[in-house]
Structure 1
């Protein structure tokens, strides 16, 4: 289970994502490679899908009790989006960082994006351990078939 220390990775990553977004917003108006900015917009939309979809998927298929958070599942969900990636919201955070890098094309946004992506990945490792504790062998089998973060 996550302790307060374990939340440090994701808290710092979240702060860096906000800083990256604010910087990208102001820097975006600078000239950049338009094709990369268009790719950045597509990646940004994908990050939104990967962030929002799990809220609905886990509520529908995860055995979440009424009034509880969508992350308080009682069943392992391995269908729909979870059939292609184990942690879509972590992937969303990394994709968001990449999108901001492509949109802003500024060295500071890129450095902050790399730092936040690494912290998100580190927190993702903890999430896998938490899921192994929660779901046991069923999750270990799931790990063999579905990538942790699927960029394809």
Structure 2
């Protein structure tokens, strides 16, 4: 398989994921009539997220435009690992649709909750409190596998770490909003991965 095969599939998978995310985020803003201020996370954290997000999203597009521009980060993966990356990414896009359709209008670009936010406990939220962070990181890691590029995969891991650092504030907001309901929910679910033995 030549490089164009991986580029075309990577582009389709990435654009599908972006389309799913954009559709549900715009829909949530329209349904609630509410635009959440990004200042809630604090200026330092938001600047880290914005700057990191810019690099995170630009790097796959640089690869898609011209893989030679990212050749300095080439790993030399065997073809079967790159094909595995395609499979993981396709499953990931399906998971992305599932989690966005499960949270509905509760999706927010910050750690703040919407005024009319209802606690989501269905779909992947039945087992995991923050599946979007996990799925987002896996998307970039699988993209790094498809592109044979350690830098893109590493950015996915770094983005996950940055979002994990923000999570305690997000959970404090959710405890404040939902009280004991959220505390009970925390007991039976994992933060980023399902709890072993959870129902």
TM-score by length of 1: 0.73
Match of 2:111 in 1: none
Determine which of 46, 50, 60 is the counterpart of 1:7: 46
Structure 2 unaligned blocks of 5 or more: 1-38, 109-113
CA distance in 2, matches of 1:47, 1:32: 21
RMSD after superposition: 3.0
Structure of larger gyration radius: 2
Report 1:28-107 matches (<5 A).
Answer: 32-59=77-104, 70-71=107-108, 72=114, 73-107=116-150
Distance of 2:154 and 2:123 partners within structure 1 = 33
Cα drift, residue 80 of structure 1: 2.0
Q: Report deviation, 1:23.
A: 4.1
**CA pair 78-106 structure 1, distance change in 2 beyond 3 A:** same
Paired position in structure 1 for 2:178: 135
* Stretches of structure 1 lacking an aligned partner (at least 5 in a row): none
1:33, 1:126 → 2: CA distance?
Answer: 41
Aligned length: 144
TM-score, normalised to structure 2, is 0.58
